[in-house]
Structure 1
Amino acid sequence: MSKKYLYAVLSFCIFLSACSTPAPEDAAPKAIAAVSVVNPDTAIIRNEISINAVATYLLKNDIKANINGYIIRSNIHIGDKINAGQTLFVLETKEAKSIGNTINNLDSTFKFSGINKIKSPVNSIVVALSHQSGDYVQEGEPLVTLADRSSFGFVLNLPYEDHQLLLKNKDLAIILPDSTRLQGYVAQIMPEVDSVSQTQKVLIKIKGNYNIPENLIAQVELLKNASTHLSLPKSAVFTDETQQQFWVMKLLNDSTAVKINIQKGLENDSRVEIIAPQISKTERFVSRGGYGLGDTASVSIQK
């Protein structure tokens, strides 16, 4: 009985040994992601719209001959800047040209010349020139077209639904085709709306003196709103394939980052406004190396 008992005990031990699970090897170390971190900032993100505007002289004057006669002197050319009161043409009547100084020679007190000077009424630019020295002109015939320099500006057609934006855009940025940025302001709003496009003409004048050709097309930036919350670089904001959910990886300490869903606001080419949850400037967020990290991830901060 003792041998049978011994065999039974040995068999039972062998059975237990066969059924027991071998001791696991040492667990593999948890993966640590190398990341860089950033802090939120108050950099302003602007939501703007750009509308084309055309350089225009709203007021042009046709200067006409006030007598029948010959143009005996004219020193103006297209493109010249003319000051108010500057002489444009000197005209001599046909009669005076015919008889010359005969009358004056007969009676020196008569002081007959037949000479008439035509002057510019305003500071202007010569945009069209119809006659030159030596031409014979009749009374009422156009001699030159002047553009009033004070009437120069950029005219944009603003959709009427956006006209309230003019209240918050007293100062405007005007961007020329060569990327030059000029400062402008709303000078006048025309009192009518186009019946088809439902746009309203707005005159924008430039601060400063610049030589800008007429009919140049520029872009005017109108601010709709600006960010009021802290923002993060775009590299610190992650999204799914459908771009329906957005999240950030916030550092709890130097070695652990957790996933936090966010509601984003305005954004530009480099930054994203974080509306919710509320964040602070002292918090740290993963900016690079965070895509694909789990809810709680081990990280190593790279300087």
Structure 2
Amino acid sequence: MNIYLKLIYGSLAVTIMFSSCSSSAPEAAADTPSPVTPVQITHVGDSSLTEYVELSAVSAYLEKSFVKANINGYIEKANAGTGQKVGTGQNLFTLITKEARSIGNTVNKLDPGFRFSGISNIRAEQSGIIVQVNHQKGDYVQDGEALATISNRNSLVFLLDLPYELNQIIKQNGNLNVLLPDGTSLAGAVSGTMPAVDSLAQTQRYIIKVPSGKDIPEGLIAKVRLSKLSHPNAQVLPKSAVLANETEDEFWVMKLINDSTAIKVNVKKGIENSGTTEVLSPKFSKTDRTMNALANNELQLIFAFL
């Protein structure tokens, strides 16, 4: 009998517990405020957008001069070193003939008016940087043999291998910006082109002349930006306001029609840069509001998709 009473009391307790929970649940839900998702609102603006093509260009010195021996003899002095900057007329090598080295000043002692020395000074014909030294002090050289090579500092250019299908674009760019790896930007201009196309890469080499005031090593890879397309009065929105599907062949924006409802508007995208995107169509008014960015919370607005 006690067992049956315990079962009955247990059943009543469970029933009362569930009934109390079910009755208090709506009150708790009613007291909980619904979260609000913050939304940033943006408007359409007008801006000038330009689409660029970025290519690599390599620095080079087109003009190199060779310092050559003008007699047969030995190098008595060498004032040239690789990487050394030299000026026009600077003495780089001193040569002495084999005969003068053998007999020394004996001839002048016999006849002071003869003035025999057998010494020749070799000077730089132009200013620049010595990029190669072929001989050192004590070497025997022959007349016409190259002693050193000097790169003309004023002949600095950048060589751009441009795909042939872009040859019309470079004609539209009178002035070019050459961006060095250290962030320095140089103003350049096309000074010439090679009359041949690489048969494999189908690229044509262009010569870009830049100011010669900066010391730039040969073989440095820089970036050249070519203006491909420019829209001076473009209708733009922030990039975060223009949404896309997974294949990025359909684009849209969320346009607010009131404070709690946004509609999906398909758009045609044009030029874009790091922060903005051009909207070619449809045309929005200055007062139209679009959603720019959402918080990570769940969106609470009502979307009416068209």
TM range, smaller chain: 0.7 to 0.9
Residue in 2 aligned with 1:271? Answer: 276
Unaligned runs of 5+ in 2: 1-34
Corresponding position: 1:74 with 2:78: yes
Which residue among 176, 185, 194 is the counterpart of 1:190?
194
**Alignment match, 1:130:** 134
Q: Distance in 2 between matches of 1:107 and 1:54?
A: 60
RMSD in angstroms over aligned alpha carbons? 2.9
TM-score (norm 2): 0.77
For residue 204 of structure 2, what is the amino acid of its counterpart?
Q
Normalized against structure 1, the TM-score is what? 0.77
> In 2, Cα distance between the equivalents of 1:280 and 1:171?
36
Counterpart CA distance in 2 for 1:194 and 1:243 is 35
Are 2:210 and 1:201 equivalent residues in the alignment? no
Tell me by how many angstroms 1:287 deviates: 0.9
Contact 2:156 2:212 in 1 (8 A): no
Aligned mates of 1:293, 1:84 — CA distance in 2: 78
5 Å matches for 1:241-252?
A: 241-252=246-257
8 Å CA contact 2:261–2:303 kept in 1: the answer is no
How far did residue 180 of structure 1 move?
Answer: 4.2
Shift of 1:231: 0.8
> Any residues of structure 2 matched to 1:110-129 within 5 Å, and which?
110-129=114-133
Structure-to-structure mapping, 1:183-262, within 5 angstroms = 183-207=187-211, 209-228=213-232, 229-252=234-257, 257-262=262-267
Distance of 2:302 and 2:281 partners within structure 1 = 21
What SS does structure 2 have at the residue aligned with 1:109?
A: helix
Report how many residues are paired. Answer: 269
What does 1:11-30 correspond to in 2, within 5 Å?
A: none
The residue that corresponds to 1:288 in the other structure is 293
Q: Which residue of 1 aligns with 2:60?
A: 56
User: Residue 160 of structure 1: CA displacement?
Assistant: 1.6
- Within 5 Å, give how 1:82-93 maps onto structure 2: 82-93=86-97
Higher helix share: 2
Question: How many Å separate the matches in 2 of 1:267 and 1:178?
Answer: 26
Tell me if structure 1 keeps the 8 A contact 2:260–2:302.
no
> After superposition, what is the alpha-carbon deviation per residue over 1:161-214, rounded to whole angstroms, capped at 9, x for unaligned?
211222222222323344444333223222222233321111223335222222
5+ residue gaps, structure 1, are 1-30, 298-303
* The 10-residue stretch of structure 1 (249-258 or 211-220) with the greater mean CA deviation from structure 2: 249-258
Residues 71 and 293 of structure 1: is their aligned pair in 2 closer, same or farther, counting only changes over 3 Å? Answer: farther
Alignment-mate amino acid for residue 49 of structure 1: V
The whole-number CA distance in structure 1 between the counterparts of 2:172 and 2:254 is: 37
Contact 1:189-1:202 within 8 A present in 2 as well: yes
1:195 alignment partner, SS class: coil
Moved runs in structure 1, 4+ residues, more than 6 A? none
Aligned sequence identity (%): 45
What CA distance in whole angstroms lies between the structure 2 residues aligned with 1:156 and 1:42?
A: 34
Between 64-73 and 172-181, the greater mean CA deviation after superposition:
172-181
